[in-house]
Chain A
């Protein structure tokens, strides 16, 4: 076995032990250690990605001495590796971009615990991406939900953050409870927990008419569980509070990574256990499509009505999650590919927007309200540039990352038949118009001259740390790169999805 094949396992173990190591370090040392860990993980994952792309195939990594139906396994393919390298890189940049706010918002004695939680969070995300075992996925989902709550709760001197954490926690618990019941039922019907064996067993039992109903219910339970965890439309109520009240880096990583890991797990379950054709015959995707379309419109309208910048961004996340579910709900290969590229696009864009929002807040007296933020982009031009790029990307202007999603989703929608085409295209067009309205309004508000300049007050200008500058610049470049060279990403996603089934 080539050395490079060990890297996913090495990365998971590094992150897992990273959480433990950070808990005994001092704040600054923990911060450095966590950044170093993320940088190393990004490099290792990039090498794994290169390896899988070169070999054009996926491989199984045994976690122990026992093979398929008996032991735990990782499965590493191009799609998982692509997601992992993007997620590790985004995490690194998000931490760098929000570093100052972490040190401002947390209590000094607890900063090391924050970085420990972040490290555990990353370990769970990477493990969810790579695992080949449904129950392992459940365990790591629980790690991700508890650490995700911890990175919001670290801001506990703010009462709203506490309330938001509680709401997030309760919804997350409902979601994982439903998901666990789904796993138990599936285990009861098949006697397996690994994806490959589950897939074979599900194909074998779906001949029997008596299993049709429970299988539909199980698919429904998985969808509802992951839908709650990833804030799909009717279950999204926790998201704006949680993402709107956390510290900038936490908001970025929660909307950029944690939601996506859950959606990716759902994609994996659909493609590898049940198979796309079987899923379509159970009509679950139609429901996801309708909810996804509702999320796109409803999230955008809510964002339009929101007067708080971070909550506006959070509602925009609801809409963007809707795009992913719209892609999954199409029930076609092209739709899945569009959903995957949307996962990447949103992971690249939203953390940048949240870090920029953090920058605006620190030059506007810490307020998140639009009125107080008027003219913030003039005081903090770098964040302003990043916000503008992010906004254009979210609207879907060509050359920016968001265009790749809109293009691929529309193409996938046009290949469908009947009401679905019209529903998808209408939702995309309406959502794009609404995105344009609220993002451009926010950008105009941020760039315009403040209404009543107080002559006595010292003009506040942003002081940039090298970390913030690097983070914003790399985010902008990555966004443009993803927008211009989306073909490469699409090729890798296509290859990865082919290998799934």
Chain B
């Protein structure tokens, strides 16, 4: 290992780079933002980044969506179906997570009348 260091870098993976950027933005906002609603949006942003990444990885230049219309199934004619399935699963998971996080937000708001999470933590410590 390491003896042969000649490898090529694909500097034109724009889609992947953008998806990683979106993921990074979502990750940062989810961790650092105080507003709970913005946290939920950030979660969706983060997941969208991942789906864009997967969708980009499934695409093959010049090929069609994998729905066989003429009965002839050639692997050269269609894009990779696996990432599409993974994205579908991921979307359902993120819908569930969003619903749960929003439900928590509703409960917290009903109790503390604010959406600022730092403030909520402070108020809940004061309660004890």
Contact = CB atoms under 8 A, between A and B. Distances in A.
Is there a contact between chains A and B in the complex with CB atoms less than 8 Å apart?
yes
B104 A153 contact: yes
Given A160-B124, A162-B104, A169-B101, A177 B57 contact: no
A162 B23 contact: no
- Interface residue SS majority, chain B: helix
Contacts of A212: 1-2
Given A173-B97, A212-B1, A163 B89 contact: no
B78 interface: no
Given A169-B100, A187-B82, A188-B57, A159 B47 contact: no
A137 B6 CA distance: 35
Given A146-B96, A165-B104, A177 B27 contact: yes
Contacts of A166: 36, 101, 104-105, 108, 117, 120
A184 B50 contact: yes
A142 B124 contact: no
B97 A146 contact: yes
Contact of A159 (B3, B97, B105, B112): B112
B1 A209 contact: yes
Nearest to B86: A135
Interface in B47-90: 47, 50, 53-54, 57, 82-83, 86, 89-90
Contact of A209 (B7, B47, B100): B7
Contact of A156 (B31, B107, B120, B121): B107
A135 B89 CA distance: 10
Interface in A145-172: 146, 149-150, 153, 156, 159-160, 162-163, 165-166, 169-170
Contacts of B43: 173, 177
A159 B111 contact: yes
B2 A209 contact: yes
Nearest to A171: B31
Interface string B9-40: 10000000000000100110011000010010
A153 B127 CA distance: 18
Interface residues of A, number: 32
Contacts of A415: none
Given A142-B93, A166-B104, A174 B36 contact: no
A209 B97 contact: no
Nearest to B10: A210
A411 interface: no
Given A159-B124, A177-B50, A149 B100 contact: yes
Contacts of A163: 108, 120-121, 124
A223 B82 CA distance: 25
A458 interface: no
Contacts of A174: 27, 30-31
Interface string B104-122: 1101100110000100110
Contacts of B39: 170
Given A142-B93, A187-B82, A209-B1, A181 B50 contact: yes
A165 B100 CA distance: 10
A174 B30 CA distance: 8
B95 to A, nearest CB: 11
A208 B127 contact: no
A162 B111 contact: yes
A160 B82 contact: no
Nearest to B90: A180
Interface string A38-76: 000000000000000000000000000000000000000
A10 interface: no
A169 B120 CA distance: 15
Given A165-B104, A166-B36, A166-B108, A177 B93 contact: no
Nearest to B9: A210
Interface string A169-200: 11001100110110010011000010000000
A166 B39 CA distance: 11
Contacts of B47: 177
Interface in A212-253: 212
A146 B100 contact: yes
Given A156-B107, A173-B97, A181 B117 contact: no
Contacts of A426: none
Contacts of A150: 100
A206 B4 CA distance: 12
A433 interface: no
Contact of B53 (A170, A173, A184, A281): A184
15 contacts: A135-B89, A142-B96, A146-B100, A159-B123, A160-B124, A163-B120, A166-B117, A166-B120, A173-B46, A173-B97, A177-B43, A177-B47, A180-B90, A184-B53, A208-B7
Given A180-B90, A193-B82, A210-B7, 7 more contacts: A156-B107, A159-B124, A163-B108, A166-B117, A170-B39, A173-B101, A177-B43
The 5 A-B pairs with the shortest beta carbon distances in the complex, nearest first, are A210-B7, A159-B124, A163-B124, A188-B57, A142-B93
